[in-house]
A and B are shown apart, each in its own frame.
Chain A
Amino acid sequence: MPIYLLLSKRACVIIHVGNQKVEAMKEKTDVRQGTLGLMVLKTLDVLGPLHGYGIARRIEQISGDLLAVNQGTLYPVLLKLEQEGAIASEWGASENNRRARFYRLTRAGHKQLEVETRGWEQTTAIIARFFEVKAEDLS
């Protein structure tokens, strides 16, 4: 751990003690750009109304704890989806009886989910074909 000694004219010492960040226990990937919205919609579709924390946990759970949902990404996405009309929110009581904001899928959200699901299925199918392709298949 490096130690820097800075001398200022004020004649006092500031000792820099290095990075205190604790390493995460497990290697997690951040959610790929643009896919979090789809995950939120699908989660709400499957599980019904949920609050933000619940959504985050569920997504992590579904991914088998391979994904880490950052609050800094989640809430802007929720706001955006709400503004687009895909989800709606209202305040309600949580499991432990605290006031929490619950999000649910709207009709437009259902439609958007369907459209995006189809799009993703198509994309994955195409990508899958590319991964399976061998030279002799094309000859």
Chain B
Amino acid sequence: MSWLQRLFSRKRAENDLDRELRFHFESQVADKISSGISESEARRLTRLEFGGIDQIKEDCRESRGSQWLESIVQDVRYGLRQLRKSPGFTLTVVVTLALGIGANTSIFTLVHSVLERSLPVNDPSRLYRVGDQGTCCYFDGFESDNGDFDLFPYDLYLELRHSSPEFEQLAALQAGGSSLSVRSGSSAAKPLRSEFVSGNYFATLGVGVYAGRPLMPSDDKTGAASVLVLSYPAWQSDFAGDPRIIGSTVYVQTHPFTVVGVAPPGFFGDRIIESPPDFWLPLANEPIIEGAGTSLWPQGDEDTAWLYLLGRVTPQTNIAALQAKLTVKLRQWMSAHVTYTAHGGAAQIPRQHVVLVPGGGGIQRLQQQTGKGLRMLMILSSVVLLIACANIANLLLARGLTRRAELSVRMALGAARARIICQILTQSMLLGLIGGTAGVAVAYSLSHMILALAFPQARNMPVQASPSLPVVGFALLVSLLTGTLFGTAPVWLSSQAKAVETLHGANRSAGNRSSLAQKVLVILQVGLSIVLLSGAFLMARSLANLEHQNFGIETANRYVLRFDPQGSGYTAERLPVLYRQIEDRFSALPSVINVSLARYTPLDGNEWGTCIVQQGHPAPGPGDKCFSSWVRVSNRFLQSIGVPIVRGRNFSAQDSQASTPVVLVNQSFARYFFPNQDPLGKHFGLVSPKNSRAFEIAGVFADFKMGDPRREVTPLFLRPLSQQYLGYTDPEAVSSEKSSMFVGSIIIQFANSQQNAEATIRQALAEIDPNLTLFYFSSYESQVARNFNQDRLIARLTSLFGGLALTLASVGLYGVVSFLVARRTSEIGIRMAMGATRASVVSMVLRGAFWQVLVGTALGIPAALYAGHLMSSMLYRVSGYDPLAYTGGAVALGICAAIAGFIPARRAASIDPMLALREE
């Protein structure tokens, strides 16, 4: 029989053994009787000779060899029975574990899948990126104050590629990326995300295709056919996974392109972003889409930097040497270009450099943006796990102590100490396993929730919410270890003591040292909770400051929609008619007060900016701050967002192509460029002194936040839709001016709140032109709120963790106080019998709890201050040492602790002295 069979035939083996031993016994008795001894005496003697039958059985079981397994099965059953017998304890531990493990696992899962993720490409370790920052846009030839270069012009890319054979392949990819209208067959145009890449992009990453062929260097040549490669998710969702799409023609911004391939299913491009590219186009096709506004040299400017560089180095490349070499190349190239040398720029060139960073994780822009918040959440969730562990330790400790009498009896009856410890261990493991399973479920739903909250606009985002196994394992291990350690320690200790002593009086005591460990644990919990609670208060206040700040605009009953006239085939000449139709049609809708058009709307995340040159001023040098944002708007723009004119006049119907080109500037613009002067009537132009007479300031409007709501208001000016400046000679400026006439946003203000504004607006737009696709529709409130998605998420999670910590600490305190009260029942009974009042009993119990909370708070506050100091860069208009947050944290904890202590204290006070004394 194998030991496994023996395990299952255990019952039979036990029966057989029992019968065999009984037979032996009876035979021995029979022999004695036959030798003339009376039956009762014979039995007595036999029993004496025999010794303990159970002892014999145990010896036999041991030699059966499957005892260890049998006893594990037994222990598991026993453990489950025990847990079922005390559902309150079990539930508390399981919920604590589930929340601790769940919170941790979900955060670590996110960190793992966002921060530590490699691109799904071939051999990512040999990928290196030239440049290390997530710079998306810049103005001025030099990109940063320290000379770090991240964005590259096409011409420079070619130069670097040709001069560095250390790169097996060096690819260039568009730093930005935009939504383009894509139409296939007769269906309506859809906005799809695009990315221009060099022809060797797929070869550099070592990525093939799912169907068709990848982009190739031959596609990336002037005059090559227009082609694109679709992403797998886009192919599935927008082209119904139709294999006939390969080789067919689709229209991108009305230009025909041939689909040559579909990328592999897991491939999401070169970086993790909310909406990864739906298709990739060769850089050479960029002028087809952008027309005269192209950034691609030689048609475009040779110094327009718009590309990130990602390369695959040959094995054994010396990265430091390569970095130095590229830096030298960069400086040489700059020295040959007047953009960089003019106006004192030449002195800056020696400081310019590139940094090579491992590119296996792709472009780390999202990682740099979210890394800080994620790491903070990681720390917070670890603290929650720590508190949870302390709680479990406390519960198990208390339980172990109350079971001391039971264990002593069992040991006195001959149970082996190892066996008892084994049972307790099994029980802790069971708890851990149940809690861990629940924790995985919590982690799964929590990561989903976090992702949905953090990236609500995500479309095919390559971040999975499934908890990673190593993380679950780690959290489980930590809690199991705590459980085991604290579950077993009291048993071990009590097993050292003489059983008799424990039987005499372990359960009767007036305060004792074994509860010291429990008190320390409670103090630890209180301290950590204070840290989390103050953090939560800080984040909540920061979020409230962000959300309820004065943005300077009115949002009530206003809606924003976006469409793409260029992608729908409109030419510049047809625009004025279209705009007038839009204004007329929407104004005619019931209860509409204002309709305006704008290139960008405040707080929609986009901005356009340029260097301005005042009339009579020289061209600004590299260090001069000449930057101002600007927006092309229709005449009623300021009314539609409720911004008043503070000086001068608003745009009017008189501002036409024939009249003086006018602009409106905000107060910051006036303060910054015209300090202590009247800005009205002043002139300025863009980029170069020769245009500096171009625009005349007609009015000043009140400051409002256009771009980043965390920053102070920056200079901004508005130009009317009715005036296109025709004085430019430089072709790039001409085309840029022309493209600024394409505005894609409409703001509609209603007199009252609307039920189904979207349907009404959609219909109105379709009535103007069925080809106009609505890309985006949102109430103005939610457009503003979207700016704070991540702040809100972090604040909510911090509050969640703070709340968790508070609950756990309260439960821990409650547990310890009730445990002490239960152990001191007889003492309290005697006190009351001797005349102690109920109030004095309550205060005696509360005093004990109060000390623990006080010590915990005293230790927690400095730790919280330090945490606040670390968090200060993430706070908006709240100091990291905000006294309100710390008071709030302490008060919240104090209230909960008072409740947690008062319940058992009241129980203590209601002890009946007679019953308590009789309990002995």
Contacts and interface: CB of A to CB of B under 8 A. Distances in A.
A and B interact physically: yes
Nearest to A22: B48
Given A22-B48, A71-B56, A80 B20 contact: no
Interface stretch (B24-32, B102-110, B265-273): B24-32
B810 to A, nearest CB: 38
Interface in B1-36: 1, 16-17, 19-21, 23-24, 26-28, 30-31
Given A21-B48, A83-B65, A94-B23, A75 B30 contact: no
Contacts of B19: 99, 101
Interface in B31-71: 31, 45, 48, 50-51, 55-56, 59-60, 62-65
A79 B23 contact: no
A72 B56 contact: yes
Interface string A1-42: 000000000000000000001100000000000000000000
Interface in A26-66: 51-53, 56-57
Nearest to A98: B23
A99 B15 CA distance: 13
A52 B59 CA distance: 16
Nearest to A81: B63
A79 B56 CA distance: 12
Contacts of B59: 72-73, 75-76
A75 B65 contact: no
A101 B60 contact: no
Contacts of A139: none
A100 interface: yes
Contacts of B26: 98
B357 to A, nearest CB: 65
B20 A100 contact: yes
Contacts, number: 61
B63 A71 contact: no
A75 B27 contact: no
Contacts of B65: 83
Contacts of B1: 83
A100 B26 CA distance: 11
Interface in A89-112: 94, 96, 98-101
Contacts of A76: 59-60, 62-63
Contact of A79 (B24, B27, B30, B63): B63
Contacts of B55: 72
A126 B16 CA distance: 43
B21 A71 contact: yes
Contacts of A98: 23, 26-27
A65 B15 CA distance: 31
A72 B51 contact: yes
A19 B17 CA distance: 30
Nearest to A79: B63
A72 B50 CA distance: 8
A56 B20 CA distance: 13
Mostly, the B contact residues are helix
B63 A52 contact: no
B60 A79 contact: yes
B450 to A, nearest CB: 57
A72 B21 CA distance: 10
Interface string B825-855: 0000000000000000000000000000000
A31 to B, nearest CB: 15
A72 B23 CA distance: 14
Contacts of A80: 63
Interface residues of A, number: 23
B189 to A, nearest CB: 80
Contacts of A75: 17, 20-21, 56, 59-60
Nearest to B65: A83
Interface in B870-910: none
Contacts of A56: 24
A37 to B, nearest CB: 12
B48 A52 contact: no
A52 B64 contact: no
A131 to B, nearest CB: 34
A21 B64 CA distance: 31
A22 B45 CA distance: 9
A72 B62 CA distance: 12
A79 B59 CA distance: 10
Contacts of B45: 22
A97 to B, nearest CB: 12
Nearest to B16: A101
B191 to A, nearest CB: 76
B21 A79 contact: no
Contacts of B21: 71, 75
A71 B17 contact: no
A101 B20 contact: yes
A127 B48 CA distance: 37
A109 B51 CA distance: 30
Contact of B24 (A21, A22, A52, A96): A52
A94 B19 CA distance: 13
A113 B551 CA distance: 99
Contacts of A22: 45, 48
A50 to B, nearest CB: 12
Contacts of A99: 19, 23
Interface centre among B17, B20, B28, B50 (most CB of A within 10 A): B20
A52 B60 contact: no
B655 to A, nearest CB: 104
A57 B16 CA distance: 21
Contacts of B28: 53
B64 A53 contact: no
Interface string B192-219: 0000000000000000000000000000
A56 B1 CA distance: 26
Contact of B30 (A52, A72, A83, A96): A96
A52 B20 contact: yes
Contacts of B48: 21-22
A80 B20 CA distance: 16
Interface centre among A21, A53, A99 (most CB of B within 10 A): A53
B60 A53 contact: no
Contacts of A71: 21, 24, 50-51, 56
A101 B23 contact: yes
A94 B56 CA distance: 22
A40 to B, nearest CB: 14
Interface in B102-159: none
Given A75-B17, A100-B20, A101-B20, A94 B27 contact: yes
Given A22-B45, A98-B27, A99-B23, 7 more contacts: A51-B24, A71-B24, A72-B51, A72-B59, A75-B17, A99-B19, A100-B27
Interface of A: 21-22, 51-53, 56-57, 70-73, 75-77, 79-80, 83, 94, 96, 98-101
Interface of B: 1, 16-17, 19-21, 23-24, 26-28, 30-31, 45, 48, 50-51, 55-56, 59-60, 62-65
6 nearest interchain CB pairs? A76-B63, A53-B27, A53-B24, A72-B56, A76-B59, A79-B63
24 contacts: A21-B48, A22-B48, A51-B23, A56-B24, A57-B31, A70-B51, A72-B51, A72-B55, A75-B17, A75-B20, A75-B21, A75-B60, A76-B59, A76-B60, A76-B62, A76-B63, A77-B63, A83-B64, A94-B27, A98-B23, A98-B27, A100-B20, A100-B27, A101-B23
